[in-house]
Amino acid sequence: MFNLPETNFHFCGDEYIYAEISRDMRAESNFKALAVTEELRRRNIPGIIDIVSSNASYLVRYNPDVISARDLVDYLKEIDFTKSDPAALGLSVRMVEIPIWYDDPITREYSRRFSSRHQEPKLSNFDYVMKLNGFTDKEAFIDRHSSAPYLITMVGFLPGTAWHFPLGVKPDEIIQAPKYKSPRTDTPERSVAIGGAFNVIYPVKGTGSYQLIGMSAVPVVDLSNQLIDLKDTSFLARPGDIWKYRPVNESEYTSIEEEVQSGRYRYKMKEIDLSPMEYMAKGKEYMYELMGDF
C-alpha cells in the first residue's frame, strides 16, 4: 500500500501557515500539495486570503481577525489527512507540447557572453550539461531530455515562470546541472534551462542562473492576447499540468515563430485524468499510457 508523506505545519508570523510535505523533491509530494490547495480553494473558508502550492509544500495566508491560526490548522490537518491516500486522489490536468530547438545559436551566444560566470568557461551550457550527465552524443542527450514528460510543480519568481520536474524517470537517469557560479545579467526570452533537477522556460528577458540548453519556439506568456489558447489568462503554465518537449530544427522553429507572431499558432494540448496511485505503482509505463501518440 502506498502512502503520501505526512505534513508538518509551521506558523510564519501572524498571517501565514507553511505546510511542509517533504524536504526532498518527490512527485508524490507535489500531487498532495496540488490536491490539498485545490480542495482549500473549493471550500472557500472565510479568512483565507491566498493559497500557494509549491514543489513539496504549500503556503496559506489568512486574516487572523477572521480566523484563528489554531482553527485554520485544524482545517488544514483535516483536509491534508483526506488527501494522504493516493487511491482517493485524481487530478484533471492538461498535457501540452512544447517545440524546442536544442543547442541553438542564441543560447550558445549567451553561453559565450557570460562564460566568465560559468563553471567551465570554454564549454557552452549545452555541452556542459551533456558532459555532466555522461553524454557524448548530442542526439542521445536530446532524446533522453525530450522523451520524459515534465510535471509543472510550481509557478512563480517572474510571472509565467514554471518549474517542471521529470516524471517516470529513475533518480539516476534525471538530467541535472548546477546553476551558474554567478547569475547572468541577461537571459533570452523563451530559453529552456536546467537547474538542479528542474527545468524552466524563461518567460521574458532578464537575469538567470540556470544552464541554457535550447529555445522554445512558443511563448509561455502572451500579454498581447493574440494567441487563442492564452486569451483567458495570458499564461500557459498551470500547476499540475504536464509539458512534453518536441525537438525541432531551425526551419520548423522559424515557421512556428511566424505562426505565433501572426496569432495563428495553436498549442497542441489535451485534457487528461492523472491518477497519483497509478503513477506510484507503474511510473514510466503509466506516463507512456497517458501520452499515447501525443
Show the domains of the chain with their CATH numbers: 8-87 (3.30.1360.40), 92-291 (2.40.100.10)
Nearest by Cα to 41 from 29, 31, 53? 53
The CA distance from 30 to 147, in Å, is 21
| CB-based contacts of 184, cutoff 8 Å, min separation 6 | 110, 113, 114, 117, 207, 208, 209
Does this model's pTM top 0.85?
yes
Question: Cβ atoms within 10 A of the Cβ of 65, count?
Answer: 7
Looking at the DSSP bridge assignments, the partners of residue 92 are 273
Nearest by Cα to 269 from 147, 154, 99, 100? 99
The CA distance from 51 to 57, in Å, is 11
Q: Residue 291 corresponds to which cell in the numbers above? A: 501520452
Question: Cβ atoms within 10 A of the Cβ of 128, count?
Answer: 21
**Residue 181: how many CA atoms within 13 Å on its side-chain side?**
9
Residue 252 near residue 176, CB atoms below 8 Å: no
> Going residue by residue through the chain (294 aa), what tens digit of pLDDT does each one get?
456 778 999 999 899 999 999 888 888 889 899 999 999 999 999 999 999 999 889 999 999 999 999 999 999 999 988 888 877 778 889 999 999 999 999 999 999 999 999 999 999 999 999 999 999 999 999 999 999 999 999 998 788 899 999 998 888 899 999 999 999 999 999 999 999 999 999 999 999 999 999 999 999 999 888 999 999 889 999 999 999 999 999 999 999 999 999 999 999 999 999 988 898 889 889 999 998 887
Phi, psi of 240 (to 5 degrees): 100, -20
